[in-house]
């Protein structure tokens, strides 16, 4: 059964389900959150949309990240 992901998905849950998402988001602001030692506190409260807003990512960057996340989920589904 396919899980549907949305921009309202919890960021911590996404990273737990797909660890490669952390790599995708690292250079888009996650690195800064980790350097400031607040990643553990905010990740479980942020949605993907909230992360995009917090990091002030433009629409094009958001779209590229979204496509990559969907691709990761499709790959996982294909392997099942």
Average pLDDT over residues 17-26: 94
52 neighbors 62 (Cβ within 8 angstroms): yes
State the pLDDT at residue 1.
37
Other C-beta atoms within 10 Å of 18: how many? 17
Residue position matching structure tokens 């959150």: 33
Cα dist from 40 to 46, 51, 71, 79, whole Å: 11, 14, 26, 30
52-75 pLDDT tens trace: 999 999 999 999 999 999 999 898
Q: How far apart are CA 48 and CA 15, in angstroms?
A: 10
User: What predicted TM-score, i.e. pTM, was given to this entire model?
Assistant: 0.87
Per-domain residue ranges of the chain: 11-79
């Amino acid at each position: 059964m396919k899980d549907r992901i949305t921009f309202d998905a919890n960021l911590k849950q996404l990273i737990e389900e797909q660890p490669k998402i952390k790599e995708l988001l690292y250079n888009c602001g996650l690195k800064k959150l980790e350097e400031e030692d607040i990643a553990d506190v905010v990740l479980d409260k942020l949605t993907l949309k909230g992360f995009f807003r917090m990091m002030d990512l433009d629409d094009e960057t958001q779209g590229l990240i979204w496509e990559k996340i969907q691709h990761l989920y499709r790959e996982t589904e294909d392997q099942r």
